[in-house]
Amino acid sequence: MQLSPGKIAPALRPPTLLNRMWKSRAAYAMLAPYFILFTLFTIAPVLMAMGVSLTYFDALNWPRFVGWANYLKLFLEDELFLKAFRNTMLLAMVTGPASYLLCLLFAWIINEFRGWIRALLTLVFYAPSICGQAYLIWNIILTGDRYGLLNGVLMRLSVISEPRLWMQTERFVMPMLIVVQLWLSLGTGFLAFVAGLQTIDGSLYEAAAIDGVKNRWQELWFVTLPAMRPQLMFGAVMQITQSFAIADVSLQLAGNPSVNYAGSTIVTHLLDYGGIRFEMGYASAIATTLFLLMIGSNKLVQRVLRRIGE
Amino acid sequence: MRSGKLNRSAAGNGLLFALMGVCGVFMALPLVMIVNNALKPLDEIFQYPPRVFVRYPTLENFADLFVLLSGSWTPFSRYILNTVIITGGGVLGHVALASLAAYPLSRMDFPGRKLLFSMVVLSLMFSWTVTQIPNYLIVSALRINNTYLALILPACAYGMGLYLMKQFMEQLPASLLESARLDGAGELRIYWSIIMPNVKPAWLTLAIFQFQSLWGNTGYLFLRDEQLKPLQYAMQQIAAGGAQRAGASAAVGMIIAAIPITFFLCAQSRILETMTTSGMKD
């Protein structure tokens, strides 16, 4: 820390908060550009969404305060929201943990390889998550007529006798969305796991072997997982946030609206009210609900993960 | 295989590698289809029974796409320029601001440090959809609606980049800074001439991640003028053109996927180096 001579405070009095802040002015100056934008585009919007959710607001007239009315309507009257809510919970409960475990499993297996095989495997598993709209290829795989690849394969194997309308049949929509979402979901968390496994100190394994760890499964549980706990926490945040935000896949593959709303999620419901009907107060109530769901699940899972290896 | 790995049985290896093979094929198949579809002549795209692999590869889909784009009202080059400005501005701004803020957060002690960082961590826990409507209102209030800035400014302050950069700076050895501080160097000087040269892998990682998130952005919410819209938008319009444009849209699919993959491929080892420090320590 840089101290300017002659300005040292009297020895016994601790520096006041203002004093300390003045001394750190260089730090604040460096933080300012980022945090001004961060406040403007992240903090303020969250607070605004909470505020607007208590109003009726059509984006033209000044918002009118209505109290909890939007939330009451959301949870007591809006059956489509309840359906979207159930779908979102199902998607999150299945794809969240499943993709998390898959990230971990694949990263763990990839860690057995070296060199170009390792780089290639990492690329193959990670690539779908960065290709943007590339998941539209699933439209071709899941086409409902005989030209669809899945139909073609299943008919040749005589599993089905005539083509299935995969994305237009209510009971197929969710399972198919889950499959596509899992394909898409090995993202940043996966990379963190691959990287985390690389750095675990080899001597830990040797010590564990002497202590009686007999096979790779015990090694995974007693050595590897505790050693990469920070990455596990980071990966959990990535996978949870992503699993609650599913929308584009549903809109593009199941359509908007999907058949009997079988593929609707909280986010598609939000886009419906915010982007099409311009009921901003109601849409903000949906956004706030989603925000609380995401933060709540993240905090809960962090708590659980903190216990690994303790 | 790592030499001298302990506790590995042949049966376990066989089981895991077989699993890896099956899943690898599942993961790769759609990507393989994207490439093959882009190379298929039109009659093969609509062939029955459907085939994954192309029989007579051709580049005519790309030629079609080029004709379509050059025939559009707004010149093709304009869309490319827009994409370069938006992704370039968003990437440079983000790397600059995030690394400038990451230095005090990781290496200096000041009141409010924990609070600021915990807000950044909290921002990783929800998606941008939550803030979309207020974001639109704020962009309008700032009068930057329908300009490049409407996309660039919010992108500069994404949470992920600051988080990764801060974690990466934290693992730099303390001795690196101490000698400079003893010499009386100012904080800005330490940041520029000592910290920045040592976090090159993190720069590259932030740049690639930021590019990935901006590359898919069509700007539909903020950009009204055709003159300002990015390449992604133009290509999406073509892809939405239905059966008679199936060839060109297959070419679009491949271009959209190939560019981020190429960038990742070039930077893979630097990115993994950055991700080793990505862990959350409570």
Which phi and psi angles does B171 have, rounded to 5°?
-90, 0
Helices (H) and strands (E) in chain B, counts: 14, 0
Question: For residue A64, what are the β-bridge partners?
Answer: A56
Q: Which residue reads 């409902």 in tokens?
A: A144
Query: Quick check: A192 contacting B, CB < 8 Å?
Result: yes
Alpha-carbon distance of A56 to B233, in angstroms, equals: 33
Mean of the per-residue pLDDT values for chain A?
89
Give pLDDT, residue B90: 96
Q: How many CB pairs under 8 A join A and B?
A: 305
Q: Quote the pLDDT of residue B252.
A: 87
pLDDT of residue B208: 94
ipTM, interface predicted TM-score of the complex: 0.90
End-to-end CA, chain A: 36
Give yes or no for a contact between A253 and A142, defined as CB atoms under 8 angstroms apart. Answer: yes
Q: Answer yes or no: CATH 3.40.50.1820 is held by domain A79-131+186-305.
A: no
Pairing of strands A64-65, A55-56: antiparallel
Average pLDDT over residues A101-128: 92
Of A307, A306, A309, A305, the residue nearest A100 (C-alpha): A305
pLDDT band at A27 (very low <50, low <70, confident <90, very high): very high
Confirm if B7 and A213 have CB atoms less than 8 A apart: yes
CA distance A93 to A301: 12
Q: CB of B95 within 8 A of CB of A1?
A: no
List, in order, residues 6 or more apart from A192 with CB less than 8 Å away: A231, A234, A235, A238, B275, B278, B279
Containing A56, the helix (H) or strand (E) segment is: strand A55-56
Task: Give dist(CA A45, CA A231) in Å, integer.
Answer: 29
Mean pLDDT in residue range A103-113: 92
Report CB contact under 8 Å: B264, A241. no
CATH of domain B68-275: 1.10.3720.10
Whole-model pTM? 0.90
Percent of chain A with pLDDT over 70: 95
Please give the Cα distance from A44 to A51 (Å, whole number): 10
What is the Cα–Cα distance from A37 to B150, expressed in whole angstroms? Answer: 12
Task: Please report, for chain A, the start and end positions of each structural domain, with discontinuous segments joined by +.
Answer: 79-131+186-305
Tell me how close the Cα of A171 comes to any Cα of chain B, in angstroms.
Answer: 23
Question: Which tokens is A65 given?
Answer: 């305060």
Would the pLDDT of A9 be above 70? no
Q: Give me A150's structure tokens.
A: 């899945």
CB contact under 8 A, B212 and A298: no
Residue whose C-alpha is closest to residue B253's, from B216, B227, B214, B210:
B216
Residue A4 has pLDDT above 80, yes or no: no
**Domain residue extents for chain B:** 10-58, 68-275
Residues of B with Cβ-Cβ distance to A218 under 8 angstroms? 7
pLDDT score recorded for residue A33: 96
Q: Which pLDDT does position B9 carry in this prediction?
A: 83
**Rg of chain A over all Cα atoms, to the nearest angstrom:** 25
User: Using CA atoms, how far apart are residues A292 and B130, in angstroms rounded to an integer?
Assistant: 10
* pLDDT reading at A162 higher than 50: yes
Looking at residue A11, what is its pLDDT? 55
Q: How far apart are CA B206 and CA B156, in angstroms?
A: 11
> Which chain B residues touch A50 with a CB distance below 8 Å?
none
Residue A293: both structure tokens together = 């769901």
Residues of B with Cβ-Cβ distance to A110 under 8 angstroms:
20
Give strand pairing partners of A55: A65
Q: Which residue of B lies nearest to A288 if distances are taken between CA atoms?
A: B130
**What's the alpha-carbon Rg for chain B, to the nearest Å?**
24
- Report, as an integer, the average pLDDT of A119-124: 93
Three state DSSP letters for A68-86: CHHHHHHHHHCHHHHHHHH
Chain A residues close to B186, C-beta within 8 Å: 2, 26
CA–CA gap between residue B159 and residue B170 (Å, rounded) = 17
Of B46, B132, B236, the CB nearest to A147: B46
Q: Per-residue pLDDT averaged across A96-105, rounded?
A: 94
HSE-CB at A48 with a 13 A cutoff on CA atoms is 19
Tally of residues, chain B: 282
Q: Tell me what percent of the residues of chain A surpass a pLDDT of 90.
A: 54
Per-residue buried b or exposed e for A256-265, using 16+ beta carbons within 10 Å of the residue's own CB: ebbeebbbbb
Residues A241-290 have pLDDT tens digits of 999 999 888 988 888 888 888 899 999 999 999 888 889 999 999 999 99
Q: What is the pLDDT of residue B1?
A: 37
269-288 in chain A: CB under 8 A from chain B: 270-271, 274, 280, 283-284, 287-288
- Taking only the tens of pLDDT, chain B with its 282 residues reads 344 466 788 888 889 889 999 999 999 999 999 999 999 998 888 877 788 899 999 999 999 888 888 877 778 788 889 999 999 999 999 999 999 999 999 988 999 999 999 999 999 999 888 898 899 999 999 999 999 999 999 999 999 999 999 999 999 998 888 888 888 888 888 999 899 999 999 999 999 999 998 988 888 888 888 889 998 888 888 877 777 788 888 888 898 899 999 999 999 999 999 999 999 876
Contact A38 B119 (CB under 8 A): yes
Q: Report CB contact under 8 Å: A31, B101.
A: yes
CA gap B20, A106 in Å, rounded:
7
Q: Are A190 and A126 in contact (CB under 8 A)?
A: yes
DSSP codes, A128-142: HHHSGGGGGHHHHHT
State which residue of chain A sits closest to B102, comparing Cα positions. Answer: A31
Q: Could you tell me the two tokens for A39?
A: 């406040």
pLDDT digits (tens, 9 = 90+) for A180-211: 999 999 999 999 999 999 888 888 888 888 88
pLDDT tens track for A58-97: 888 899 999 999 999 999 999 999 999 999 999 999 999 9
* Residue found by looking up tokens 């750190």 in the block: A24
Q: What is the pLDDT, as a whole number, of residue A1?
A: 47
